[in-house]
Each structure stands twice: as structure tokens, then as C-alpha cells.
Amino acid sequence: MFYLFMLPGLVWFFLFSYVPLYGIQVAFRDFQFSGGFSGSPWAGLKYFHQFFDYYQSSRLIRNTILISALKLLIGFMMPIILAVLLNEVRNVKFKKTVQTLSYLPYFVSWVVVVTLMQRLLAQYGGPVNNLLESIGMVKDPIQFLNNTSWFYQMILGSDIWKNIGWNSIIYIAAIAGIDQQQYEAAKIDGAGRFKQIWHVTLPGIRNIAVILFILATGSLMSAGYEQLLLLSGPATASIDSVLDVHVINAGLNEGRLSYAAAVGLFQSVIALVLILTVNRVARKVSDVSLF
């Protein structure tokens, strides 16, 4: 009977996870729709060559790694900082309100976030520029969007804005689990606020941070296709083109399925290697690992 309970799930994972895995072979074939996964003629490494010979391939890889590394390094620290700051707040009502508000952007789609950015950061009449101008921080309104010199800040900023609250949940919970006696002991030893944070709070969330970091490295080769599909445009093309978007454009828009599958496979393999490497390093260095 229990096997019957699992049956829909097992069939689903077979169809939507394992059949596509079998379909990876289209990267090595000249895919024709009539032939299906295994019926099209072999092409060997033709499409991999095509990608690495493409004059923009190194730029694509560079942009992808740069954007996701920025998100990984800065975007990863922000929720920890937020959790630590919230922990220092004594007023429960204030703390709860900030927490609830900080989850809010997580629940809206990237389409909404980008629409909001378009309105609030508009060069002419956008409230952010109006504010900056009225307090005299800028002379001329800043063109935040579709501008290469602001592009990475926008990508990173919107990513942090959307996810900081949500990602801090786990750290807040971990901090709540720290034994209060440790703080008392630190106080008796004469530790001030910052010493307490450094010696008690941060070590208390170290393990969970390592695990989340391992998980995050797996996505180093994917820079977040939803956000980038929506925020990239011709004006920033030289620095916004990343692998995920390239796969979608080449495959779904131009119909070069085998080529796009080859690029996608390259991406998946690197991601797997990365996650296994970081997992091993983490196990050696700190005894914490995912598997």
C-alpha cells in the first residue's frame, strides 16, 4: 500500500528528472524533433566546440562567475548581518515588525521587483532620484537602469533586497538556540557587545552557515536567470550576458536545441564539481558537510 502512495511521485520524478537526464545526449547529437532523444544522428563534440569557439564564450563565463560570485560573497553575508543586528534589538515588537517586513519582498515575483525598480529608480520623476536631489547628494539624476556602470549594483542590490529577510530566518533561529549562559559568562569575563557578537553569536551560527555556503556554491555557474532575463537589455549587453540566459535564448528563442543543451550540460557539470569540491573542503576544514 505504501508503494502505491509513492507511485505518483516515483513516476513524476522518472518523467521530469530522469527522462531529461537521459535526454542529455541531445548535446552530442544533431537533434531533430522527429527523431527524439536517441534517434537523431551523432554529432560528437561539435556543439561543445561551437560554444568554445564562439567569440563571446569566455565573456559569458566571466560574467556568469562574476555575478554569482558577487551574490555569493556579499549576498551571503547580508542575512547573517541582519540576523545579528536583529538579535541585538531588545524591543520585541520592533523586532517582529522588522522581521515581518523583511520577508515581504521574498513573496513577490521578479517581474514585480523589476517593475518596481523601473518606477522607483526612474531617471526622471523616480522617487529615489528625487530624494537624492532634494538632499543634495547628486546634481543630475542618476540613470540606474540600462547603464553599465550601475548594472552590477542593481543586480546585487535587488537580489539582496528580495532575499535578505527570508535567508535570515535560519540564522535567527540558530541564534535563538544559543545558550544564554554563554552570554552571561562572556559578560562576566568583561566582554562588551562586539566581543559577545564575535565570540558567542557568530560561532553559534557557524555550522549552519557552512552548510548554506556549500549549497550556494552549487549555483556559481548559474547567475539567476529570472532576474537577468528581466534586467538585461541591449544597453548593458557586454556585461549582462550570462550562461543561463544564453541557453534560453539559443535554445528556446532561436531553436538551436543541441547547441543550447551542450552549454547547459557544461554548466551542470561544473556545478556538480564545485559542490563536491566545496563539500570535501568543508569536511576537512570544519567537520561540517552536506553529505
3-state secondary structure of 42: strand
Contact with another protein (CB under 8 A): which of 45, 77, 185, 272?
A: 272
The answer to whether residue 77 forms part of the interface with another protein (CB under 8 A) is: no
Residue 285, classed as helix, strand or coil, is helix
- Smallest separation, CB 23 to another protein (Å): 3
Task: Collect all residues with Cβ–Cβ distance below 8 Å to 211 and sequence separation of at least 6.
Answer: 288, 289, 290
Q: Note whether 17 binds another protein by CB under 8 A.
A: yes
Q: How far is the CB of 104 from another protein (least distance, A)?
A: 5
Tell me the closest approach of the beta carbon of residue 186 to another protein, in angstroms: 15
CB neighbourhood size of 8 (10 A) = 9
36 contacts another protein (rule: CB under 8 A): yes
CB 227 within 8 A of CB 155: yes
Q: Which of 45, 75, 77 is nearest to 227 (CA)?
A: 75
Per CB under 8 A, 110 contacts another protein: yes
Instruction: Give min distance, CB of 192 to another protein, in A.
Output: 9
Contact flag: residue 92 with another protein (CB under 8 A): no
Regarding 6 and contact with another protein (CB under 8 A), the answer is: yes
**Contact indicator for 80, 171 with CB cutoff of 8 Å:** yes
List the interface residues with another protein, window 197-236 (CB under 8 A).
208, 211-212, 215, 218, 226, 230, 233
Whole-number Å distance between alpha carbons of 124 and 177: 48
Shortest spacing between CB 121 and another protein, in angstroms: 10
Examine residue 73 and tell whether it contacts another protein (CB under 8 A): no
By CB under 8 A, residue 268 contacts another protein: yes
Alpha-carbon span 230 to 162, nearest angstrom: 15
- Binding residue for another protein (CB under 8 A) from 34, 41, 55, 90? 90
- For position 127 contacting another protein by CB under 8 A, the verdict is yes
Q: Is 114 in the site for another protein (CB under 8 A)?
A: yes
The nearest distance, CB 180 to another protein, in angstroms, is 10
- Number of residues counted as binding another protein (CB under 8 A): 88
Residue 37 CA to residue 146 CA, distance in Å, equals 40
44 closest CA partner among 248, 255, 268, 262: 262
- Of 43, 275, 278, 282, the residue at the interface with another protein (CB under 8 A) is 275
- Binding test (CB under 8 A) with another protein, winner from 8, 41, 136, 190: 8
Asked if 118 is part of the footprint of another protein (rule: CB under 8 A), the reply reads yes
When computed from its CA atoms, the radius of gyration of the chain, rounded to whole angstroms, is 24
| Binding flags for another protein, 164-193, as an x/- string (CB under 8 A) | xxx--xx--x-------------------x
If one counts every other C-beta atom within 10 angstroms of the C-beta of residue 184, the result is 11
CA distance 38 to 23: 8
How far is 173 from 188, CA to CA, in rounded Å? 25
